[in-house]
Chains A and B, each alone.
Chain A
Amino acid sequence: MADTQQKYRKLPGRRRGFIFSASLWTGADHLLSVKSGRFQEQYKRFYFRDIQAIVVTKVPRFAVSTPVAAVAAILLIGLLIARYNLPALTDWLWLVLGVLAVAWIYISAEQSCTCRLYTAVSREDLPSIHRMWTARKALAELERQIAQVQGVFTEDWTEAVDVRAIGPSGMGAVAGVAGAAQSTADGHNRTWVSDIFVASLLADAAVTYFEMRSPVSWMADVSVALTVVQIATAIGVFVQKHRGRLRTGMQRLAIVALLFIGGLTYAQMIGDAVDAARTGQRGPVALRARPRSGIVRPIYSGGAALLAIAGFVLSFKPE
Chain B
Amino acid sequence: MPIPCNRCNRPLPKWELAAQHAALCPECGASSIVRVFPALFYAAGGPVATETAAEGEATCFDHPAKRAVAACSRCGRFVCQLCAVDFKDAVWCPSCFTAGEYKARTVEFENSRMLYDSTALTVALAPLPMWPVTVISAPIALYVALRYWNRPLSLVRRWRWRSALAAVIALAEIGGWIWGIAYFLLKARAGLG
Contacts and interface: CB of A to CB of B under 8 A. Distances in A.
Contacts of A8: 155-156
A36 B25 CA distance: 32
B17 interface: yes
A95 interface: no
B107 interface: yes
B32 A57 contact: yes
A102 to B, nearest CB: 23
Contacts of A59: 6-7, 30
B180 interface: no
Contacts of A43: 110-113, 155
B35 A38 contact: no
Interface of B: 1-7, 14-15, 17-18, 25, 30-42, 44, 103-108, 110-115, 118-119, 122, 126, 129-133, 151-152, 154-156
A161 B110 contact: no
A55 B32 contact: yes
Given A44-B111, A59-B7, A158-B14, A146 B118 contact: no
Contact of A120 (B17, B39, B113, B131): B39
Contact of B14 (A58, A159, A231): A159
Interface string A37-65: 01111111100011111111111000000
A240 B15 CA distance: 51
A53 B40 contact: yes
Contacts of B44: 120
B129 A4 contact: no
Given A2-B110, A40-B112, A114-B7, A161 B14 contact: yes
A39 B2 contact: no
Contacts of A151: 38
Interface in A135-171: 135-136, 139, 142-143, 146, 150-153, 157-162, 164-167, 171
B107 A2 contact: yes
B33 A139 contact: yes
Nearest to A50: B39
B105 A3 contact: yes
B32 A58 contact: yes
Contact of A52 (B37, B108, B110): B37
Given A40-B112, A59-B6, A150-B39, A6 B34 contact: no
A55 B15 CA distance: 16
Contact of B113 (A41, A143, A262, A287): A41
Nearest to B13: A162
Given A2-B110, A41-B154, A136 B115 contact: no
A135 B35 CA distance: 12
Given A2-B107, A38-B118, A39-B119, A289 B38 contact: no
18 contacts: A1-B104, A6-B155, A25-B156, A38-B122, A41-B113, A43-B112, A43-B113, A51-B39, A53-B37, A55-B5, A55-B34, A59-B30, A120-B39, A142-B35, A158-B14, A160-B41, A165-B2, A265-B130
A221 to B, nearest CB: 14
